Structures are given as C-alpha cells and as structure tokens.
Structure 1
Amino acid sequence: MWAGGADNQGNFLGRISIRRNQVASMEGEVEDLELFQRKISDSFSDLLPPNHKRDSHHAPPLPPSLSLSLGSINSPIATDSDGESTPFAGSETLLSIAWVRKLLDAFLSCEAEFKAVLLVGREPSQIAKSPLDRLIPDLLDRAVKALDICNAITHGVDAIKFMQTQAQIVVSALEQRPFTDGQIKRARRALGSLLSSIVVDEKENTGKSTERSWSFGKRTSGASSKDRHHAPSFKSLSWCVAKQWSAAKQVQSISSNLNPPRGGESTGLALTVYIMNVVLVFVMWALVAAIPCQDRAGLGTHIPVPKQSNWAHGMCGIQEKIAEEWKRKEKKGSAGLMEEVVKIEKLAQSLVDFADNFQFPMEEEKEAEFAAQVAELAEICRKMDDGLDPLQIQIRELFHRLVKSRTFILDVLDQAGKSSTPNV
C-alpha cells in the first residue's frame, strides 16, 4: 500500500477524534462530513490526466453545506501516432498498472475514512436508526458482490502475467543477433500463444453478435510442444470463475437501485453512506474495464456516478475517459484498457507480421523499426515485472478489507440490537 495513503488516513482519523472530543454539536458533525466529501473529491481528482486536472482547478470550492453541485467535466481525447484516440497521454498515464494501483490506494484510504465518519465517537444505536438501518445493509450487500469481482480481477491479472511470459520469450528470441531461423520460429510460437491467450467467445451469444465474453487460454494453436505443456496450467485459472458468471452483470447488480438520498436523507450520514456506495461501484467498474474479465459486454452503461455532485467531479472525469475508450475498443475486440495490455497486444500483432514475412538480410530502415519495437516490448515487460505482483497484493488487501469492514459494521449493528432489547 502506498505510504501517502496511510499517512493521510491516520491524520484524518486523528482530526475526527479530536474534533468530536472538543465539539459535541451538529456543526462539528457537518464539518466532519464535509471533510469526508473533500477527501473523496481530492482522491479521485488526483487520478485525472493532466488536462482534466487543469479543468478541475477551476471548480468552485466546497461550500459550507452538504448540498454540493458541479457540472460534469468534458475533455478531448488525445490521439496516438496512428491517429487513434487514446487515454494514455500526459505525464500521468490513465489505466496503467501504476494508475490502477493508485486507484486501489485511493479506495482503501477513502473506505477507512468512511468508517471513521460513520463509527468513531458514536453510539451503536445511532447507525441502527432510519434511514441508516436500510442504507447500511445495502452497502454491505454490495461489498459481498464486490468480492466476486475481486476474484475475477485476480484471475485477470494472472492472464496478463501469462501474456507477459510469452512477451519475454519473444524479446529473448529477437534481441539476439544475428537472426537464425530457430529464433524467428521461437518468437512466432510465443507470439501466437500470446495473441490466442485472449480470444472472443461468442458461442453462448447466439443472435447477439455485439456481446462478447473473454475466455483466457482456450487456444494454443501455433504453439510449440513446450508452450502447449504450459498452457493447461494457465487454462486452469478459468476454474476460479463459474462459466456463467459475468463481470458486466455483476457490476450492473451492485449498481442497481443506487439512488441519491432525498428530502431529510440528503444530508448527514445518509449522504455519506450513499457516497461510499458510489465509490465502491465506481472502483469495481474501473477495475473490470482495465483488467481482462469474463464477459464484460456493455460495461460502459453500468455506472451511475452523479454528475451534479461536486465530490464526484473527479470520478466523472475518469468515467468519461474510460467509457469513451471502452466504447471504441469493445468494437475491435480489445482484451482490456490497461495501458500495458493495449501496447503489448499491438506490438505483438506487428511483430507477428514481421516474423511471418521475415527475409534475410533485412533492410536497414526496417531493422531499426523492428529493433525499436522489441525494445518497447522489453520495457513493457519490465513495467509488468515491477507492478503486477504489488497490484495483486493490493487486490488481496482490497478483498480482505471489504470482508473485515463488513464484519466490523455488522458487529456494531449487533451491539445496537442488543442494547435496544429490554431486559427481562
């Protein structure tokens, strides 16, 4: 976990504890809730690309009330060297491994601070009253459903690791000079295994050609006997997720009936619980969009972030970029929006063309272009080496945090129930 998030969490908890000890009034509680909203806003605004950040700096400061409003953020999509739109522009790369890790860190920090606002210094009976007696169980139910997404995401990271292993074989074969037929054949086999490790499965989508579900490691055509020997262990990862399970439907399930509080519920703790619900749904949606998961068809329509809320403007900006990229990539059968996956897939396709049409000697200009692609592939493998294991650790931490927080809140609710029961 990123050290900065832990430090901020500790400072936040300390400020709330001190304030509640000093100011036992409604004004002090309102200030705590405003502080939580500012934390949500800042955490996700920090994840925006630079052009969005500049726009967000013009947003009005949070007013001293809980009814905050701001329009959604609009920003043009950058283009890559081929003229295609891409979210991967600027000094901070959206949807890279490092960015996903920061997203998880932001969620873990905000989740801890939500529990501080909800529970620190309160009697258990306070969170067992209406409307919290209805809103909190809804949040805990979403947390349970999010656990399945965490499992699917872990499986998706394993799929990316398989791609990385095949890419490293390609780099090892093509970095050596002079070329031999054996090196080219070895690279071609690894490239075939890499590109066929993530395929579109439309067998169960009869009559619905626009819907796709991703299946990992189902084909090994073109692979050597050594590669085929390794394929079964990769294919076995699919046993972690039921065949009928759908990431898109799971996201839709946790986002259903997520309505903002109204009337007397639009302030105070009810609003805070709603905000945490939105944050949970948003983070699960972003993870599924970035990392290969089973059946993500139509994912872009399953995320209800309130565009009029100031605390949500960072999430709205991120959502806009991801949804636009998802819409474009889905039509091409993309394996996921994670930057390293997009690049490794594109380079692999280019290198397949090179391997299939290889002739010796190579033209000097073509050899330079080829060498640059191999070097870029090697750099992506290095980033994956540095980032994928820590990412899996954070996903595991996310899973356990959801379990522990749910258990803790249920214990508090249980205490509230016991204290309200009259003694016989």
Structure 2
Amino acid sequence: MPATTENNNQGSFLGRISIRRNQVMSMDGSHDQEMEDLELFQKHIGDRFSELLSSTSEDSSSSSSSSSGDALLSIAWLRRLLDEFLCCEAEFKAVVLMGRDPSQITKPPLDKLLPDLLDRGVKSLDVCNAVTLGLDAVKNLQRLAEIAVAALEQTPLGDGQVRRAKKALSALVAAMLNDDSNAAAKGTERTRSFGRRAGNTNTTKYKSLSWSMAKNWSAAKQIHAMMSNLTAPRGAESSGLAQPMYMMSTVLVFVMWTLVAAVPCQERNGLGTHFPLPRQLGWAQPMIGLQEKIAEEWKKKEKKGNVGLLEEMQRMDKLGQSLIEFADSFQFPTETERMDEVKKHVEELGDICKKMEEGLEPLQQQIREVFHRVVRSRTEFLLALDQAAKSTTPAL
C-alpha cells in the first residue's frame, strides 16, 4: 500500500472514531458501531502485515528487488515494519482510549490485560535500547567494509592495498562470528585499531536511551518474558476490548522479536524461532507467514553462529569471505577474468555500505520514536486509570 494511501486511511479511521466518541450516546446504543470499529482495526492490522509479507523480496541484490519489494530483514524492510507498528499503535489507542470513559478500561477482563500490556511496553524499552546498541555495532562493521572497499578500488592493485583490505575483512568476518554479548565491544575495538573512531557524533542524540545494558541482561529472556500470558481472549471476551488489547500485545511482541532476530543484541541464545499465534484468526495469518520466513533464515544461520539476521550483514559476510580468499591467493599481475569478478564483489560491497550509510541512522531514529511512543502511551493509560480511580472514590 502506498504511504499516502495508508496515511489517508489511518486519518479517516482515527477521525471517524473521534467523531463517534464526541457524540453523546449510551454504550448500548453504540454497541454495533463499537463492533464495526473493532473489526476495522483487525482488518487494518491484517492488511498492514499482508503488505509486508507480499511485498517482501527474497534477495535485495536481485535486479527485480526494487520493483518486487525490500528483502526480508533488510534495513529498508525493518523501517517499514516500524512504520506499520506506529500506525497500529495509534489506531489501538483510538479504539481503546480516545473519548472513552476511563472507567471502562478498569473493568474485567481489561483490569488484568491492560497491566500486562503496559508491562510488555516497559520491557520493549529495554529491547529498543539493546537494538540501538546493536546497530552501533553494525556501523562498526560498515566502517571495516568501507576500509576494504577503499583499498580494493585502487588501480593498479598492489600487495599493500590487498593486505589492508584483508586485515579489515578478517576483522569484519571475525566480529560477525563472535557471540552477541561481545559483538558491539569487539567491533568497536577492531574499528579503533584502524585509526577510526568507533563512535559517531550523531549518536549523541540518543542519550535518552541507555548507552549500555546490565551484564546479566538477556534479549532472549526479555522476549520470553514479553510472551508470558500472551493468550487470545475466548468466548464473549473475544468480541470486546480484550481483543484489541491482545492484538496490540501480539504486534508489540512480534516487532520486538523480529528486531532482536535481525540485529546483534546482548545474549540472544534461546530466543527461539516461534511464539504462539492463533491460526484461526485472520489478522494473524500474515504475521504467521512472516514468522515462518524469519524462522527459516534463523535455522540457516544459527549453525554458523552469525550475529543477527540483518540482510545487509549476511551479504557483507558472504562477500567478505570471498574477498579474503582472493587476498590469500593474490599475485601481481592478476588474471583479467579474476579481477573482473573481484571488481564486481567490491562494487556490491560498496553498495551495501552505501545502503547502511543511508539507512542505519534513520532506522535508529525510528527505534527512538517507537521508544518515546511507548512511553507516551503508557503515560496516557496510567492517567486514564488515575482518572477512573478518582471518579470512583467517594468525596469526603
């Protein structure tokens, strides 16, 4: 769905709910319209993830990728995922909170479901912190690749340039094979060894997010904790506000699980390739399809021990190993056919670096936006709960 069309649809949906909630009518009189709004919210979630699934290309290096979509778990695809999350979150608050009597979210079963959702939100903030740090590690890998590209682009290519490229590529490949908890630190250390500062001056804007995680913090355990008590409402509850509560929890967990799978994070061992999603619910089907695709990638890569499934990192690793093989057997002069192949690989590696240069910073900005959106929404719900409590407290 084009961004303009999607924004128009969302604006229309939010405006429609706002108008209805401003009308004075009893809950009984608005029941049918409430059900219609809930159904439309479900449809929008299904449509958004269907679009993410159907427009996902298998390989962004293919010539058709620009027309068929973004490669799964690529930087561009993750940015689209976060955009969809923010849209879902805005519509969720419109359905559950906008213009509604606060006492309605204190009644069973919402009195238990809402605290669970708010707790998942708090846990997601730590995940945002960890992913932000992981993307800093990816930037360090990018710099190593840029060193190699700059060396191998020299003409004529001599022993000195090849040795410099090999040193950078060996550091890059080794960093990707390290366990997740050390990836950021070792990537930084290796980048500094080449006389480049690991930090980026632009990262100072993220001081609102933590710069480090506790040593015993585990991304896998955090995701498992978010999955706790994630159960679809049954019976009469499935047609009330319990349903959007469950849907938003599911979307939040899926997005955080995907980010942790894609980006090197502290202690991902035991993350797992699935979390339960009810197959009988139509809106969950595209999410299940995406989950299965990501699980396939996970199974392919876990034996190699690579950190993160980020598509650009996987291509960078493959090209890096190929160019290291070239460097190991390099002799001057090199056959023209071999040099043409190397030139092609160097150009592809340079293209990946360019995509990282253009996409990593905006991706971090989006994660920052998600972070602050979750904080703001949590505050809005807590204020609503406080208002409900005051309205039911008898005056002295």
Asked if residue 136 in structure 1 is aligned to residue 114 in structure 2, the reply is yes
What amino acid sits opposite 2:136 in the alignment? D
Query: What residue is the counterpart of 2:315 in the other structure?
Result: 343
Deviation at 1:216, TM superposition (A): 2.7
Q: Structure 2 CA distance, aligned partners of 1:393 and 1:7?
A: 23
The count of corresponding residues between Structure 1 and Structure 2 is 380
Decide whether aligned partners of structure 1 residues 238 and 168 sit closer, same or farther in structure 2, where only a CA change above 3 A counts: farther
Structure-1 residue corresponding to 2:93: 115
Secondary structure of 1:177's partner?
A: coil
Q: TM-score, normalised by structure 2?
A: 0.88
Flag the 1:51–1:397 CA change in 2: closer, same or farther, 3 A: closer
User: Partner of 2:183: helix, strand, or coil?
Assistant: strand
Contact 1:157–1:388 (8 Å) recurs in 2: yes
The aligned counterpart of 2:13 is: 12
RMSD, aligned α-carbons: 2.9
CA spacing shift, 1:396–1:6, aligned 2, 3 Å: farther
Separation (CA, whole Å) in 1 of partners of 2:192 and 2:85: 44
- Aligned 8 A contact 1:167 1:191 in 2: yes
Q: Indicate if the aligned counterparts of 2:113 and 2:242 stay in contact, CA closer than 8 A.
A: yes
Which consecutive unaligned segments of at least 5 residues does structure 2 have?
201-208
Q: CA deviation at 1:306?
A: 1.8
The yes-or-no answer on 1:397 pairing with 2:369 is: yes
Aligned counterparts of 1:88 and 1:294: Cα–Cα separation in 2:
33
Query: 1:130-152 CA deviation, whole Å, 9 max, x = no partner?
Result: 11111101100000000000000
Name the TM-score, length of structure 1 as normaliser: 0.83
Separation (CA, whole Å) in 2 of partners of 1:120 and 1:339: 39
C-alpha spacing 1:3/1:383, structure 2 compared with 1 (3 Å): farther
Q: Give the secondary-structure state (helix, strand or coil) at the position aligned to 1:367.
A: helix
Deviation at 1:185, TM superposition (A): 1.8
Give the CA deviation at 1:95: 1.1
| Per-residue deviation, 1:19 | 3.7
Give the whole-Å Cα distance in 2 for the aligned partners of 1:93 and 1:35: 29
Q: Which of 28, 46, 49 is the equivalent residue of 2:51?
A: 46
**Deviation (angstroms), 1:273:** 0.4
Describe the shift of the 1:339–1:122 C-alpha distance in structure 2 as closer, same or farther (beyond 3 A). Answer: same
| Structure 2 equivalent of residue 215 of structure 1 | 183
Query: What is aligned with 1:300?
Result: 272
Q: In the alignment, is the contact (CA less than 8 A) between 1:199 and 1:214 conserved in 2?
A: no
Letter aligned with residue 340 of structure 1: E
In the TM superposition, what are the counterparts of 1:1-400 in structure 2 within 5 Å? 6-21=7-22, 24-50=29-55, 90-201=68-179, 215-218=183-186, 226-227=193-194, 230=197, 240-400=212-372
Distance 1:225 1:316 in 2: 42
Q: Give the Cα separation in 2 of the matches to 1:172 and 1:309.
A: 51
For 2:236 and 2:127, the matched residues in 1 are separated by 33
Aligned mates of 2:188, 2:6 — CA distance in 1: 42
Q: Which runs of 5+ in 1 are unaligned?
A: 53-77, 82-86, 202-211
1:140 aligned partner, one-letter code = L
Partners of 2:269 and 2:307 lie apart in 1 by: 12
For the residues of structure 2 that align with 1:361 and 1:353, how far apart are their CA atoms? 16
- The CA deviation string for residues 151-195 of structure 1, in whole angstroms up to 9 with x for no partner, is 000011111111111111111111111012221122122112222
Q: What residue identity is the alignment partner of 1:92?
A: D
Q: CA-to-partner distance for each residue in 1:267-298, whole Å, 9 max, x for gaps? A: 11011101111111011001111111112123
- Cα distance, 1:264 vs structure 2: 2.4
CA deviation profile, 1:319-368 (whole Å, cap 9, x unmatched): 01001111221111122211111101111111111112211111121111
Residues 1:378 and 1:238: Cα distance change in structure 2 (over 3 Å): farther
Amino acid at match of 1:43: R
